Amino acid sequence: MKAVIQRVKKASVSINNIEYSAISNGLLVFVGFNNLDNLIDIKKITKKIINLRIFSDLNHKMNLSLNDIHGELLIVSQFTLYANCKKGNRPSFIESANSIDAENIYNQFVNYMKSKYKKVKTGKFGALMDINLINNGPVTIQLNSEKL
């Protein structure tokens, strides 16, 4: 399971030019899955996202977590995180979970995250989404459950 986390002042997801969901201060998380991902991966990534100390304290040091600031979380599925660009110029997505399995684990991830953190919003799995954000910092962190 891979995640790209962006610290944001605000972020929103629109589908067909209609806002689907939006957050203010918090984290925008793009998440992708492979066929080996399971509940262990979900738990590791969830714990890391909630507790990652990437928000500034009073001394302007990254020392506070999403939990500490009571920020919001926006989760967006993104299979392209498993793109393989080693051969040629067209990415291969054979390492990504197929859409049925990916949707199942995405829903498990969202539900588990909601059980651990209350301010969670999402994009719509499989939809063509427009993402608007103001990246704060900018701060962008990559996570891979295999390396946690």
pLDDT for res 75? 98
**Catalytic site residue from 46, 80, 122, 140:** 80
What is the reported pLDDT for 91? 95
Report the C-alpha gap between 122 and 28 in whole angstroms. Answer: 9
Cα separations (Å) of 30 from 57, 63, 67? 25, 22, 19
Residue 136 near residue 9 (C-beta atoms within 8 A): yes
The tokens for 89 are 């110029």
Residue 60 CB neighbours (<10 A): 7
Would you give per-residue pLDDT tens digits along the chain (148 residues)?
999 999 999 999 999 999 999 999 999 999 999 999 999 999 999 999 999 999 999 999 999 999 999 999 999 999 999 999 999 999 999 999 999 999 999 999 999 999 999 999 999 999 999 999 999 999 999 999 999 9
Concerning whether 80 is annotated as a catalytic residue, the answer is yes
Sequence-separated (6 or more) residues with CB below 8 Å from residue 143? 2, 3, 4, 5, 45, 48, 49
